[in-house]
């Protein structure tokens, strides 16, 4: 089997080599993203692997099908840009990697929570500047606060367990109540989670229904001084509304691994450049905001699993016509 993998980072290469050998397949890799220009590189391959799942992919289903390629995988859990019906109409079968390491994201969400609650960036810059005053550095303890988890699937439930180990009270909202969450958290309505949480952590996939689930209206329902953590998708948060609430003090702090308009920023080195997006600039300059470059997934275990499981998906498409992780069923 011959597979071409797009958007391959240097740190992923070792895993493509490892699993090509282990599964007895041929892998070609490119750092280029898949789009209508680069799709021609797929000519002669049996299947395609992509790291991104942006809307541009919907323009490659037709050229791929013309090349006789119908097996496609993303190496991520999220696939919010993909138009599944359009892909199906061209006979493309698509899979994702739903559980490459829920702990990778969960632990990062908790790290962002601790960093915002204990004002770690401010502590670091003070010490670096030889300012050893502790004024305005008072933090809050996880064991004294209520955490609101929105979305209690693989990542949300794992996050809840880690917060629970710190002694926090956990409440949660999900459209589907996870039976494994019994003894770990208490389900509440979304409005109750907004009203009762000291810190809200998002763990839902992005859909048209939950876009901007955090906006001026929902923030108004939250406690004064709430902390917002987003490691899910940028589109869940109306970033202008969040900025305004951070400036007014309604929201005490935010930890954002994902950003609503990250498309023009993600995976690029823009060091020294002026970023056009003024909302991003405002957020990045606020002392009570931590922004990280969509990196919550990025652990050794997770990246290895992303390559391994996506490869298994494609092999299963070839051998069995489907995989447990097919999203086009």
Q: Note the residues at the interface with ligand NAD (CB under 6 A).
A: 77-78, 98, 105, 150-156, 173-176, 178, 203-206, 209-210, 231-233, 257-258, 294, 296-297
Whose Cβ is closer to ligand NAD: residue 20's or residue 162's? 162
Q: Give the active site residue among 12, 260, 262, 312.
A: 262
CB of 20: closest distance to ligand NAD in angstroms?
Answer: 24
CB of 71: closest distance to ligand NAD in angstroms?
Answer: 22
Whose Cβ is closer to ligand NAD: residue 39's or residue 283's? 283
Q: Give the active site residue among 154, 203, 233, 236.
A: 233
- Asked if 161 and 186 count as a contact pair (C-beta separation under 8 A), the reply is no
Q: Give the active site residue among 154, 243, 294, 312.
A: 294
Confirm whether 118 is a catalytic residue. Answer: no
Chain centroid offset of residue 12 CA: 18
Confirm whether 294 is a catalytic residue. Answer: yes
Largest CA distance in the chain: 66
Provide the strand spans (E) within the chain. Answer: 2-5, 26-29, 47-50, 71-74, 93-95, 146-150, 169-173, 186-187, 199-202, 226-230, 251-256, 289-291
- Using the structure block, give the residue that is written with the tokens 């009203």: 195
CB of 8: closest distance to ligand NAD in angstroms?
Answer: 17
For residue 275, the SS3 value is coil
CB of 90: closest distance to ligand NAD in angstroms?
Answer: 24
Whose Cβ is closer to ligand NAD: residue 98's or residue 121's? 98
Tell me the C-alpha distance between 249 and 243, whole Å.
10
Instruction: For strands 169-173 and 146-150, give the pairing.
Output: parallel
Total count of residues recorded for the chain: 329
Whose Cβ is closer to ligand NAD: residue 52's or residue 231's? 231
Residue nearest to ligand NAD (CB): 153
Q: Which residues are catalytic?
A: 233, 262, 294
């Amino acid at each position: 089997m011959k597979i071409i993998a797009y958007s391959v980072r240097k740190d992923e290469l070792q895993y493509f080599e490892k699993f090509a050998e282990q599964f007895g397949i041929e892998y070609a890799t490119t750092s280029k993203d898949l789009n209508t220009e680069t799709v021609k590189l797929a000519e002669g391959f049996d299947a395609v692997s992509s790291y991104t799942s942006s809307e541009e992919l919907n323009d490659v289903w037709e050229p791929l099908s013309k090349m006789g390629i119908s097996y496609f995988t993303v190496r991520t859990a999220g696939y919010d840009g993909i138009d599944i019906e359009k892909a199906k109409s061209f006979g493309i079968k698509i899979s994702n990697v739903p559980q490459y390491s829920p702990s990778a994201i969960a632990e990062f969400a908790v790290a962002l929570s601790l960093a915002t609650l204990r004002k770690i960036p401010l502590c670091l810059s003070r010490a670096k500047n030889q300012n050893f005053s502790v004024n305005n550095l008072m933090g809050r303890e996880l064991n004294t606060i209520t955490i609101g988890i929105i979305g209690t699937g693989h990542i949300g439930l794992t996050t809840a367990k880690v917060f629970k180990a710190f002694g926090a009270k956990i409440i949660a909202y999900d459209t589907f109540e996870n039976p494994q969450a019994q003894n770990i958290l208490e389900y509440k309505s979304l409005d109750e989670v907004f009203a009762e949480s000291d810190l809200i952590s998002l763990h839902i996939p992005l859909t048209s229904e939950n876009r901007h689930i955090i906006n001026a209206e929902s923030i108004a329902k939250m406690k004064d001084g709430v902390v917002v953590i987003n490691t899910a998708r940028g589109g869940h948060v109306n970033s202008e509304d969040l900025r305004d609430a951070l400036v007014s003090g309604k929201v005490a702090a935010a930890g954002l691994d994902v950003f609503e308009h990250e498309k023009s920023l993600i995976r690029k080195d823009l060091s020294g450049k002026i970023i056009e997006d003024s909302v991003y600039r405002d957020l990045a300059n606020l002392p009570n905001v931590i922004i990280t470059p969509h990196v919550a997934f990025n652990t050794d275990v997770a990246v290895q699993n992303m390559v391994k499981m996506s490869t298994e998906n494609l092999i299963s498409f070839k051998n069995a016509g489907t995989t447990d992780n097919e999203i086009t069923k």
